[in-house]
Homo-oligomer: A and B are copies of this chain.
């Protein structure tokens, strides 16, 4: 079965048993996938981790291990933690942006209410709410995510 060996068994230069734990998730035509996890975890650790999850979840586990290994090879200091930090920062920024825009919406709604209550444009313009004043009067609006 030399020609039918999976990437893991090829890498380890051994026979590929019919019940090989790696074979379904590390095919011979993608040697890079096993090379990555082998470099970071070691082959026996990967086998042990796959054994530790139910068969129907092993493909997901193998793919997640591969991604984590790849990220660590790409960034030997932070690995996937750099992606998580960057995503966390993006979420924080989006929340700040959302809060700002929601303040803007509240401001415009209030301005339209003024128009409806007093349809005289000159009065509206002289009485119109100042956006900065509105934000400082409603500080909780900009911090409702925190």
| Residues of chain A at the chain B interface (Cβ within 8 Å) | 40-42, 45, 49, 52-53, 57, 60-61, 64-65, 67-68, 72, 76-84, 87-88, 90-91, 94-95, 97-98, 101-102, 104-105, 108-109, 111-112, 115-116, 119-121, 124
Label chain A's interface by main secondary structure. Answer: helix
In Å, the complex CA distance between A68 and B41 comes to: 12
Residues on the B chain within 8 Å of A65, using CB? 79
In Å, the complex CA distance between A22 and B25 comes to: 33
In Å, the complex CA distance between A18 and B121 comes to: 80
Q: Assembly of this chain: how many copies? A: 2
Identify A84's interface contact among B83, B95, B119, B120, CB under 8 A: B83
Residues on the B chain within 8 Å of A79, using CB? 64-65, 68
| CB-based contact A98/B94 at 8 Å | yes
